[in-house]
Amino acid sequence: MFQFLKNIDKDGRKPVFGGLEILKYIGPGLLVTVGFIDPGNWASNLAAGSDYGYQLLWMVTLSTIMLIVLQHNVAHLGIATGLCLSEAATLHTRPSVSRTLLGSAMIASISTSLAELLGGAIALNMLFDIPIKVGAVITLLTVIILLFSNSYRKLEKWIIGFVSIIGLSFIYELSLTSIDWGQAAVGWVKPVIPDGSMIVVMSVLGAVVMPHNLFLHSEIIQSRQWNREDEKVIHKQLRFEFLDTLFSMIVGWAINSAMILMAAATFFHFKIPVSELQQAQAMLQPLLGRNASDIFAVALLFAGVASTVTSAMAGGSIFAGMYNEPFDLKDNHSRLGVAISLLVALVVIFLISDPFKGLIISQMLLSIQLPFTIFLQIYLTSSRNVMGKYVNSKPLTLLLLVIGGLVAYLNIRLLFSLFIG
């Protein structure tokens, strides 16, 4: 638990959960939302919209519903036990199992940071023609300043601001285009898999459910905890957490949908295939004007910085959890986890010559690790020894297994597609 965050009022009494209290609770879910509006999602969504128009919007809806269930469940673990996913794995599984799983999760955090740093670097290249490697260093330094010069509360506000800028950017982009809302409404709810679209379908889903977000949510949700000895307070926390998760995931759904809508109304409409972020930005200028292309790059920059912050926090949480410690940037283990996640990712960027290849490598590693994190979470939240009276119900466990199985299957298919084509 965030030991340096205790939400008890000045008189030491339990907080009052008034009508406006939910507004104070919004935040942890939005940090998680940043993870699935990251540069990897941009690439997947732009491909979906430019190649298939509005037809794959339903995948954003489906993946968001599955994400709500998974993220709510892992946040439930954090609230009910006072442990993050990494700490719980260390305490409740054999050392050989926990070390292996958490070690692979650290690799996933590094892979995520790799993609996020590249996203920020690509945005800087778009805006200022800065070389990718130099841009990656600038992005990393910006992230370090944000992480180590701000308290969690201030950092949370920064991230919420970044998400708002990204959202407003796409509202502006959509205002310049002519959206067929009738087709969009059908696309959101009607499952269709056009010929040749399976890889894009899997990419959209695989870019939404990410292992580091599951570790991160179980940690940061504890920034809102009060007296864990009072069951009424815990129940209220669980209810407010669900509202926070639901609201935040809907925001993510809207932004991801906006990316597809913009691509469908511009690139698909003019029959322009898009395979790279730089290409999308370059094509927007003749279609929608210079402002649209610049705002696209600015939004990508904020997405890259914000998502790198959250992937680094996840790395710190995972590494500290290996030593049965909560995430705390004043603690050496947390700092070391953040450093490993960021610096190893930067070294890899300097070793590869093709940024697109770097994104492929990161996606491959995430696809391999994700099933292990999901089923670790299900194992822990379905164990009465871990959760006590807050253990998953049998129907919920079954639902989680179905979601976990589907996500794992599609990510494995995506992994194979990288080799087979």
CA torsion through residues 367, 373, 374, 379, sign: positive
Q: DSSP for 219-259, please give it.
A: HHGGGG---TT-HHHHHHHHHHHHHHHHHHHHHHHHHHHHH
Inform me whether the pLDDT recorded for 24 exceeds 70: no
Q: Which residue has the higher pLDDT, 386 or 1?
A: 386
Inform me whether the pLDDT recorded for 181 exceeds 80: yes
**Which range (171-175, 259-263, 386-390, 412-416) has the least confidence?**
412-416
**Which range (13-27, 180-194, 200-214) has the least confidence?**
13-27
Domains and CATH numbers, the chain: 30-420 (1.20.1740.10)
**Which range (135-144, 148-157, 168-177) has the least confidence?**
148-157
The answer to whether residues 73 and 396 touch, using CB atoms and an 8 Å cutoff, is yes
Q: Mean pLDDT throughout 243-252?
A: 87
From CA 257, how far away is CA 380, in angstroms rounded? 33
pLDDT band at 23 (very low <50, low <70, confident <90, very high): low
Q: What's the predicted TM-score (pTM) here?
A: 0.84
* C-alpha dihedral (39, 129, 299, 357), degrees to nearest 10: 0
- Block residue for tokens 């179980």: 218
Instruction: Give the range with max mean pLDDT: 52-61, 187-196, 364-373, 409-418.
Output: 52-61
pLDDT of residue 288: 67
**Which range (109-118, 147-156, 259-268) has the least confidence?**
147-156
